[in-house]
Amino acid sequence: MANHVRDLPQLSLSRITRLRLLLFGHEDLAGIVFWAALTGFLGALATVAFRESLDLLERLFTGQREEGLVNAAIELVWWHRMAIPIVGGLLAGLVLHWAGRVLTVPRGVDYMEAVLVGDGRIGFRAALVASLSSLCSIASGGSIGREGSMVQLAAMVGSKLGALARASIPRLRLMVACGAAAGIAAAYNAPMSGALFVSEIVLGNMAMESFGPLVVASVVSNVTIHRFLGYGPLFDVPHVQFVSNVELVFFVVLGVLLGHLAPPFLALIDFAKSCFARLRWPPYLQLGLGGVIVGAISIWVPQVWGNGYSVVGNILQGRTAGVWLLIVLFAKALATAATIGSGGVGGIFTPTLFIGCAVGTLVGELMHTALPAITSVPAAYGLIGMGGFLAATTHAPLTSILMVFETTGDYQIVLPLMLACVTAHYTAKVYRHGESVYHASLARAEQSSAADDWRLRTVEPLVKPPAAMVPRTTTVRQLLEELPKRPLERVYVVDGDQLIAWLDPRRVLEQVQAGSIEENVTVEHVSHPVSFVLSPDMALGTALDGFLREQATVLPVTLGPWRNSLLGEVSRRDVLLAIQDRLTVRK
């Protein structure tokens, strides 16, 4: 029997292409969930590769087998402790210098740029070079978070999967966002925070068109890391008991204090960046100088090494307190500014949690000493401080609340945490024109979009091949026998390449089973006239009006009203994502 059903995806000889178009080429919800889940799984594996490489490199640098970089640093003699950050900084800079001069690797696109600028493409070589530089910095004691590179790698995985699926620009951007969410979920054991972080900070909205896939990617990533591979939580968090309702006032005061401290911390980092930039040195000398500063500080305060996970655990357990905690706090702030200012590749998320925990614990010690009967233990204030300082620096109070809650799993912490985070957020917004720690990345994306307006204006970039189309002489029996084995909303009836009608195969099958139509009639007799079609130059708003009027999830695209040649189809989800892009406004 001749193949009357022209299923375009099935014409490909490549199995990968068939799978790609089957699962991502259309409005099929299962396809979107599949690719979001695959991004979460592979993104989690990318973070595992980075984490294990970091552990190996730490042992090579320090020659120690102790648990944690700080513990290894404490065991080293002072000159060795100073030399390692210098060597690591030089190596990190040489990686960047070598990649730029010898390999001619272009400037890496940050995942925020990839999502906001809209191209959605993150180069593999650039991401790999940045990760190698980050490994050298962090493993040698650089005071910077590993989550930055973990998120970037996971986002790169999302970008490559989207390119493999030949996703449209909005979906490619969504895949990058799913990768970023997966990276955060894997780094912090916080799946909901991963999805919310990307929605609140990067995308700037929580539309379900994008938030749903982010949740899927985050959950799969978290399950992969912690359920399948057995990685435990980052922080050793004690159970805390809040004493009285009067204490809520103290947490508001703590939020105000954190809101005032966050802008100076961000200003310190900006000042360090400007100082290093004025030197106009090559990357290896700048990062080497940053290593000198970190190494010098670590002679007396080895707790400044690395991201500080173990130190945060010691603070919460009460093993680091009093004047020594105050010294560690100032030393960590200086070391972080030196590492980031010199050009170190990594994240600032974890150092922010460190500083917030230290400030909160110091306040808690003072309050508990003065009012022991009505105040909680200092660890409670440390946990609240983590969320409050994070909210003050990122201007993402919802993410901050949820992250600390997911870290503790204790509902009692929610009310004081909400008060402190919101108070810190609004207090910090008064300073620096309301700019967050991610202002530079977001501003860079705005400059790119100003130079090249990437935001989609018409439906032309969203057009995909039609899922299935049949000649007008095809019988219903032939249609049902040879229809692709996947849910389809529309099959297009054509005469040559001219679109003449469409039909719903599910409805046709129901009518055949009910006996209301015969199987030997042609599809033309059971099809519907085409009442609305898209054209390649149609504006997004007009297209969305058509989707709403037709109550359809996919619509055909033709050359125009006078030449009804079928070019492909566009999904409503892609139109909504593209409109969401255009409506996103950065302040």
**pLDDT tens digits, 7-48:** 433 333 234 434 444 444 444 566 778 888 999 999 999 999
pLDDT of residue 314 exceeding 80: yes
Between 135 and 10, whose confidence is greater?
A: 135
Q: How far apart are CA 409 and CA 240, in angstroms?
A: 11
Q: Could you give the number of structural domains in the chain?
A: 3
Give the HSE-up count for residue 382: Cα atoms under 13 Å, Cβ half-sphere: 30
pLDDT of 116 strictly over 80:
no
pLDDT, average across residues 128-153: 89
Residue 496: CATH number of its domain: 3.10.580.10
- Does one domain contain both 491 and 432? no
Averaged pLDDT, 148-153 = 88
Residues 475 and 398 in one domain: no
What is the C-alpha separation between 162 and 21, in angstroms, rounded?
12
- Of the three residues 416, 451, 486, the one that is the final residue of a domain is 451
Residues 397 and 310 both lie in one domain? yes
Q: Do 364 and 499 lie in a common domain?
A: no
pLDDT at 350: 86
Judge if 110 and 210 occupy the same domain.
Answer: yes
Residue 296's domain is classified under what CATH number? 1.10.3080.10
Q: Is residue 145 part of a domain?
A: yes
In this prediction, residue 90 carries a pLDDT of: 94
DSSP conformational letter for 203:
I
Residue 241, domain member (yes or no):
no
Phi-psi region of 325 (alpha: psi -120 to 50; beta: other; left: phi over 0): alpha
End-to-end distance of the chain based on CA atoms, in angstroms?
A: 61
Residue 236 in any domain: the answer is no
Assess whether pLDDT exceeds 60 at residue 369.
Answer: yes
Exposed, middle or buried by CB within 10 Å (0-12, 13-18, 19+), for 323? exposed
Plot region of 125 (φ>0 → left; ψ -120 to 50 → alpha; else → beta): alpha
Both 325 and 192 in one domain: the answer is no
One domain for residues 392 and 267: yes
**7 within domain boundaries:** no
Domain that holds residue 68: 14-228
Residue 242 lies in a domain: no
- Whether residues 467 and 446 share a domain: the answer is no
Q: What percent of the chain has pLDDT over 70?
A: 83
Same domain, 444 and 471: no
**Is 38 part of a structural domain of the chain?**
yes
Task: Evaluate whether residue 2 is within a structural domain.
Answer: no
**Tally of CA atoms within 13 A in the half-sphere of 470 that contains its CB:** 29
Which of the listed residues 451, 484, 514 is the one where a domain comes to its end? 451
**CB-based burial label for 13 (10 Å; 0-12, 13-18, 19+):** exposed
- Domain identity same for 198 and 252: no
Q: Are residues 437 and 299 in the same domain?
A: yes
Proportion of the chain in helix, strand, coil states, percent, rounded to 5: 65, 5, 30
For the chain, what percent of residues have pLDDT higher than 90?
A: 30
Residues 581, 112: Cα–Cα separation, whole Å: 13
**Sign of the CA dihedral running 126, 158, 444, 577:** positive
476 shares a domain with 446:
no
What does the pLDDT look like over 462-494, one tens digit per residue?
887 787 888 888 888 888 777 766 667 788 888
